[in-house]
């Protein structure tokens, strides 16, 4: 992969995931009542509109609104800056690593937009087995998780020099 292709990958993946994330959240926000749930696959998968003012799995959600409004945008900005610098320094031949970083950056931007817009994140993907629920998540969360998985795979595949 050339350097030009590396940056084309970055722009395309980040833009595509960000648009998909925001369009799905906007759809849920406009067509669902808060806490409304619509089954997709009975007893397994639903779309459920919830808002998360905390981090993953609702961590830190009990903190003051002032803390949340200052903490999360600051952490997101610092993380995006660090990830962006790292992406710029990764050689173009490390394709798996570049994909992972693109997905993480796109997810962080998607949830960051929500935090700036609403002060919290819209989640709606609800995976469950009858009454046992995994915490709801969204496209941005999925992008981050897949990106982290790709970075882990890359760490096991790529010899460190």
Active-site residue, 123 included: yes
Rounded to whole angstroms, the Cα distance separating 26 from 29 reads: 5
Active-site residue, 126 included: no
Of 161 and 43, more confident = 43
| pTM as predicted | 0.90
For the ranges 52-56, 89-93, 150-154, the lowest mean pLDDT is seen at 52-56
pLDDT of the residue at 137? 95
């Amino acid at each position: 992969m050339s350097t030009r292709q590396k940056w084309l990958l970055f722009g395309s993946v980040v833009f595509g995931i960000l648009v998909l994330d925001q369009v799905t959240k906007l759809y849920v926000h406009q067509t669902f009542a808060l806490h409304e749930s619509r089954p997709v696959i009975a007893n397994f998968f639903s779309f459920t509109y919830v808002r998360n003012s905390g981090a993953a799995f609702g961590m830190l959600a009990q903190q003051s609104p002032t803390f949340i409004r200052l903490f999360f945008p600051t952490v997101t900005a610092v993380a995006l800056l660090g990830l962006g610098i790292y992406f710029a320094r990764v050689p173009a031949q490390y394709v798996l690593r570049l994909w992972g970083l693109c997905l993480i950056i796109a997810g962080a931007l998607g949830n960051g937009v929500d935090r700036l817009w609403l002060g919290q994140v819209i989640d709606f993907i609800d995976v469950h087995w009858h009454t046992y629920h995994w915490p709801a998540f969204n496209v941005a969360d999925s992008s981050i998780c897949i990106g982290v998985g790709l970075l882990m795979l890359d760490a096991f595949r790529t010899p460190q020099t």
